[in-house]
């Protein structure tokens, strides 16, 4: 397999990727995680709510969190081969906006997939114990490799994380194995700590990973290069 890792702005780097050269895109992009309200001591005391992952009420977990869906999703469509798949993780706040943008670009929606975790995030309107993945295709639809796969996937949340929103290798591996063949190329423009790249290495898929943050790029590089086939 080949592994190409790039540190920098994914929009600028993707411009260097030829049209219709990628077999699958699997990514967990940056997006807002709250829609408003307060995240201070008064609000938590009023509602008896614990503090979450955010230190302030700006909807951001990361420093580099200002990219718009309309800026990068058209590039995903361009670099993907015809009749290929695109997996985009999201939350309920951004689900409809991402879907609108993807449909506008030409993608078609296969399904809404659910990752059931072994933990729950505190919430006043039902505790959240799952995350979502929008599953799209470009061109003509093709069946997944394991057609017995269900829409709800149960994988434990990583107990020791290299990244605040790190996903299980098994979950990324499920997407990789269902939508690609050995030696196909998978792109992750928001690589984070490199979990998708690790899954690709395990499954003998080529990988292109892009990450803007210096810290997480080095973590991803070390994780992927340290994995044995």
Q: Tell me, what CATH number does 97's domain have?
A: 3.40.50.150
What does the pLDDT read at residue 34? 61
**Tokens at 215, concatenated:** 């810290």
**Tell me, what's the pLDDT at 44?**
39
CA angle 101, 105, 111 (to 5 degrees): 65
pLDDT band at 43 (very low <50, low <70, confident <90, very high): very low
pLDDT value of residue 63: 53
Quote the pLDDT of residue 157.
Answer: 87
**3-state secondary structure at position 198:** helix
CA distance 47 to 69: 33
Mean pLDDT of the chain: 87
If one compares 27 and 35, the residue with the highest pLDDT of the two is: 27
CA–CA distance, 94 with 188 (Å, rounded to integer): 19
Three-state SS at 7: strand
The residue among 147 and 163 whose pLDDT is bigger is 147
Q: Name residue 138's beta-bridge partners.
A: 84
Q: Is the pLDDT of residue 45 over 50?
A: no
Q: State the Cα–Cα distance between residues 70 and 74, nearest whole angstrom.
A: 7
> How far is CA 59 from each of CA 37, 55, 90, 100, 213, rounded to the nearest angstrom?
10, 10, 14, 21, 18
Strand order, beta sheet including 3-7: 3-7, 206-211, 185-188, 22-27, 80-90, 128-138, 108-121, 152-154
Lowest mean pLDDT among 68-82, 160-174, 179-193: 160-174
Q: What are 48-75's pLDDT values in tens digits?
A: 444 444 444 444 444 545 689 999 999 9
- Work out how many domains the chain is built from and give that number: 1
Looking at residue 161, what is its pLDDT?
77
- In terms of residue numbers, what domain contains 206? 3-226
Q: Using an 8 Å Cβ cutoff, are 210 and 188 in contact?
A: yes
Residue 175 near residue 153 (C-beta atoms within 8 A): no
Contacts of 215 (CB under 8 A, 6+ apart): none
Percent of the chain with pLDDT over 90: 74
At 83-135, the pLDDT tens digits run 999 999 999 999 999 999 999 999 999 999 999 998 888 889 999 999 999 99
This prediction has a pTM of 0.86
Measured CA distances, 131 to 52, 115, 121, 137, 201 (Å) = 16, 5, 11, 20, 24
Coil, helix or strand at residue 202: helix
């Amino acid at each position: 397999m080949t592994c190409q890792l790039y540190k920098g702005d994914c929009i600028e780097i993707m411009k260097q990727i030829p049209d219709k050269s990628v077999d699958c895109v699997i990514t967990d992009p940056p997006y807002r995680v709250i829609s408003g309200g307060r995240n201070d001591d008064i609000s938590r005391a009023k509602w008896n709510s614990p503090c979450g992952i955010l230190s302030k009420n700006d909807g951001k977990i990361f420093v580099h969190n200002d990219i718009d869906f309309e800026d990068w999703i058209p590039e995903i469509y361009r670099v993907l081969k015809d009749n290929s798949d695109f997996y985009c993780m999201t939350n309920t706040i951004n689900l409809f906006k991402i879907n609108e943008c993807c449909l506008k670009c030409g993608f078609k929606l296969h399904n809404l997939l659910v990752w059931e975790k072994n933990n729950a995030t505190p919430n006043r309107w039902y505790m959240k114990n799952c995350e979502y993945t929008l599953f799209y295709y470009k061109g003509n639809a093709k069946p997944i490799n394991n057609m017995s796969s269900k829409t709800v996937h149960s994988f434990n949340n990583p107990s020791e994380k290299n990244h605040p929103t790190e996903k299980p290798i098994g979950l990324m591996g499920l997407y990789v194995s269902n939508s690609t063949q050995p030696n196909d190329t998978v792109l992750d423009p928001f690589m984070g700590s490199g979990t998708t790249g690790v899954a690709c290495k395990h499954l003998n898929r080529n990988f292109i990973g892009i990450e803007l943050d210096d810290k997480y790029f080095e973590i991803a590089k070390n994780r992927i290069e340290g994995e044995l086939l």
